[in-house]
Structure 1
Amino acid sequence: MNEPVWEEIANERYEDFWGPFDARFEFGARHQKPGSRILEPIPSVTFDLSPLFTDSPVTFAAGQAAVNAVALFAMTQAFPAGERLLALDWQHVSHWYWPHRRAVAEDEIPPIDVFPNGDFYVFLTEDMTEGTFGHPWERTLCVFGPRLMPRLVPLLAGWLPIRRSAS
């Protein structure tokens, strides 16, 4: 029997996961950088997703799918088998995500995307030192962490503009 790629976190409360995230990243507070909703970690790279928001639904759908696929692929490269990530969907149920289980459950539809299509989406290691933060209104994706950045940033930088980088 295959293990699930995604596991809903049962009986969660906002403060169980978003509370520590809020404290660590000052989520929602005003920051020096215009539009940012978090204190972006150092180092980090924030990509501009706005070129994907075109009049063409095909371009948008292809761009959204590509960002999600590339990010989830990079997570399989960055994190060891068995390591789970916290996947947060603002004002919705959170999940645990196991990147290495993806290959055996390709037909499973992700409950949370990396691409911020309408809500804040966050993927984090349990210690909150690595991950992604998707900002839906700013249309950005922040990538941070010593294992994830070298794997994901080069894959996105070839076709998406960099909005900000913190080093």
Structure 2
Amino acid sequence: MWSRFSAAFDFRPSTRNRPAITEPSPSAVWHLHSHQRVVSDLPAGLDTIVQRGLLAATEPGEFVYWLDWQHDGYRYDPRRTGTPGRPPRPGLGTHPDGDYYLHLTADLRLGTFGHPWEQTLTLWGPALLAAVEGELTELLGEPVRRRDRNGAGASPA
């Protein structure tokens, strides 16, 4: 999955490359630092929102891949993990904790990309954005970058 992701998104891992991917259309990028929230609560809240969005945006039986740069990745079904009576979701979550973290579908049509040094979270795919954009904006503030369906980029003024 890393090879496919790297080729499709022109992934450029580095502490200096920002952004480290060519952001797909449509997508939105949020900064993970905000003075309006308690930082210790952010990773759990962020993961809850993203997991709810992945559940809404994927088809029954469709797998999601969780990738952690230079570590083992996992494949899981969001409907069969992380709920009472089911095994926990694999991986460490969504908030990048020193490594790039991704959640994505096999066809790469939707996903998340956490950049640990830029401290941003990119989400792409119309269904995923529709499911969580409002909640993420409430938690993190307005996106710092966007790309619309036509590939046009925009940054807040």
Alignment partners' CA distance in 2, 1:139 and 1:47: 9
Length-normalised TM-score, structure 2: 0.83
Equivalent residue for 2:98?
Answer: 118
- Once the two structures are superposed, what CA deviation does each residue of 1:102-149 show, in whole Å capped at 9, x if it has no partner? 324567264231111211011111011111101011111001012111
- The answer to whether structure 1 residue 18 and structure 2 residue 2 are counterparts is yes
Give the Å deviation of 1:80.
Answer: 2.2
Identity %: 33
Partner AA of 1:74 in structure 2:
G
SS at match of 1:152: helix
Root-mean-square deviation (CA, aligned residues, Å) is 2.1
- Structure 2 gaps, min length 5: 149-157
Equivalent residue for 1:164, pick from 129, 132, 145: 145
Equivalent residue for 1:12?
Answer: none
SS at match of 1:50: coil
Alignment partners' CA distance in 1, 2:76 and 2:40: 23
- Report the structure, 1 or 2, having the larger helix content: 1
Length-normalised TM-score, structure 1: 0.78
Equivalent residue for 1:141?
Answer: 121
Equivalent residue for 1:61, pick from 30, 40, 43: 40
- Structure 1 gaps, min length 5: 1-16
The answer as to whether partners of 2:101 and 2:113 remain within 8 angstroms in 1 is yes
Partner AA of 2:144 in structure 1:
R
Structure 1 residue runs of 4 or more that deviate by more than 3 Å after TM superposition: 104-107
